[in-house]
């Protein structure tokens, strides 16, 4: 994947949430490139900043969250500096999102058809309502839902159907980048597997680039070409999926992979990582992971580790002067 065209380039991104007891430093200098056509898995535990990163890309941080510094270059234009008008041309049209909970992501008072018509006509005034409904019907049918259901309301649909409708709404304007924020967390295992298959199929059909945000390593193992591991508002490691699972470099990644439940007899106990995620109002000095790191050294407590890259992977850890 290394040779592809970079469509999204994030540099030095800082995001803060001022709250009553201080400021949550949700992202502390994130660098990430997304290559056309890839599926980038974004993993980490709750509160590590993976969703914040996803929402920053389309500037949909909930107030009081704000980008304090850094750039988000989408095809050469800095999204972080765009005005509202420019943003609206990108959101939904070039970069689309699907969310965690399909049950609550559709407006209960709007029919499925109304959702589609509104989205299509927001981006293209020239499309008539009947034409928009036709496009919506085609989209539903390509997702395996009868176009008869356009007149129905969200509460008349099952969870899996609503998730497919959400993805149909996201794709109806043919965006090139899809950000999927924990898209299967609210679905049961069977529907989840079907959804991931569908996502893979749609990626091919719509020529999509996907950022798949999840805490489920199984999901990314199945779909992602590359994986970004986040911890405490920073990126600790980026690597091609196979390499990451075979040979994790960062101690946090190692711990994460070791804690995947395994039913083999030689590992009877569930492996856990000691400690808890860092307090991002007052993050630890040096490497944010050092309080939990089994291999922490003196320098880790004092200074933030630099990122080292090579061989298609990047790691931020004092253990490495270069990628081994």
Contacts to other proteins by CB under 8 A: 58, 60, 62-63, 84, 88-93, 96-97, 99-101, 104-111, 118-119, 122-123, 153, 155, 166, 169-170, 173
Q: How many CB atoms lie within 10 A of CB 205?
A: 10
Tokens of 199: 């996502």
Query: Which of residues 63 and 274 has its CB atom nearest to other proteins in the complex?
Result: 63
Min. distance of Cβ 228 from other proteins in angstroms? Answer: 21
Query: Which of residues 165 and 315 has its CB atom nearest to other proteins in the complex?
Result: 165
Min. distance of Cβ 111 from other proteins in angstroms? Answer: 8
Query: Which of residues 47 and 168 has its CB atom nearest to other proteins in the complex?
Result: 168
Query: Which of residues 36 and 59 has its CB atom nearest to other proteins in the complex?
Result: 59
Query: Which of residues 172 and 235 has its CB atom nearest to other proteins in the complex?
Result: 172
Strands 77-78 and 22-35: unpaired
Min. distance of Cβ 108 from other proteins in angstroms? Answer: 6
Tokens of 144: 């395996």
Q: How far apart are CA 102 and CA 118, in angstroms?
A: 18
Nearest to 177 by CA among 87, 27, 54, 11: 54
- Say which DSSP state 70 is in: E
The region, left, alpha or beta by phi > 0 then psi within -120 to 50, assigned to residue 306 is beta
Query: Which of residues 13 and 179 has its CB atom nearest to other proteins in the complex?
Result: 179
Min. distance of Cβ 98 from other proteins in angstroms? Answer: 8
Min. distance of Cβ 172 from other proteins in angstroms? Answer: 9
Min. distance of Cβ 208 from other proteins in angstroms? Answer: 16
Coil vs helix vs strand at 277: coil
Q: How many CB atoms lie within 10 A of CB 285?
A: 12
Q: How far apart are CA 100 and CA 314, in angstroms?
A: 28
Query: Which of residues 73 and 101 has its CB atom nearest to other proteins in the complex?
Result: 101
Query: Which of residues 110 and 320 has its CB atom nearest to other proteins in the complex?
Result: 110
Min. distance of Cβ 317 from other proteins in angstroms? Answer: 34
Min. distance of Cβ 119 from other proteins in angstroms? Answer: 5
Query: Which of residues 41 and 92 has its CB atom nearest to other proteins in the complex?
Result: 92
Min. distance of Cβ 65 from other proteins in angstroms? Answer: 12
CB-CB contact of 65 with 146 (8 Å): no
Q: How far apart are CA 125 and CA 135, in angstroms?
A: 14
Sheet containing 177-181: give its strands across. 95-98, 177-181, 209-214, 39-43, 226-231, 234-240, 313-316, 307-310
Q: For residue 115, how far is the Cα from the chain centroid?
A: 23
Long-range pairs of 142-151 with CB within 8 A, sequence gap ≥ 24: 142/168, 143/167, 143/168, 143/198, 149/112, 150/111, 150/112, 150/113, 150/116, 151/111, 151/112, 151/113
């Amino acid at each position: 994947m290394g040779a592809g065209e970079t469509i999204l380039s994030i540099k030095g991104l800082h995001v803060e949430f001022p709250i009553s007891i201080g400021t949550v430093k949700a992202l502390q200098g994130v660098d990430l490139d997304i290559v056309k056509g890839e599926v980038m898995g974004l993993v980490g535990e709750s509160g590590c900043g993976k969703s914040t990163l996803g929402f920053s890309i389309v500037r949909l941080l909930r107030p009081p969250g704000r980008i304090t510094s850094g750039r988000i270059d989408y095809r050469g234009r800095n999204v972080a500096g765009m005005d509202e008008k420019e943003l609206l041309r990108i959101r939904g049209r070039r970069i689309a999102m699907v969310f965690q909970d399909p049950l609550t992501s559709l407006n209960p008072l709007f029919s499925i058809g109304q959702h589609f018509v509104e989205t299509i006509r927001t981006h293209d005034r020239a499309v008539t309502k009947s034409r928009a409904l036709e496009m919506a019907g085609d989209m539903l049918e390509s997702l395996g839902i009868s176009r008869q259901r356009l007149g129905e309301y969200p509460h008349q649909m099952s969870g899996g159907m609503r998730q497919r409708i959400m993805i149909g709404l996201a794709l109806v304007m043919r965006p090139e980048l899809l950000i999927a924020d924990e898209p299967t967390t609210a679905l049961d295992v069977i529907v989840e597997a079907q959804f991931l298959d569908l996502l893979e199929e749609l990626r091919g059909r719509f020529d999509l680039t996907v950022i798949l945000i999840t805490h489920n390593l199984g999901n990314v193992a199945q779909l992602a070409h590359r994986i970004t591991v986040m911890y405490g508002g920073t990126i600790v490691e980026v690597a091609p999926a196979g390499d990451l699972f075979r040979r994790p470099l960062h101690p946090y990644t190692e711990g994460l992979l070791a804690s995947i439940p395994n039913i083999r007899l030689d590992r009877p106990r569930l492996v856990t990582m000691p400690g808890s995620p860092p307090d991002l109002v007052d993050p630890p000095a040096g490497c944010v992971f050092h309080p939990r790191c089994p291999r922490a050294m003196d320098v880790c407590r004092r200074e933030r580790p630099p990122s080292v890259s090579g061989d298609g992977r990047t790691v931020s850890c004092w253990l490495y002067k270069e990628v081994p």
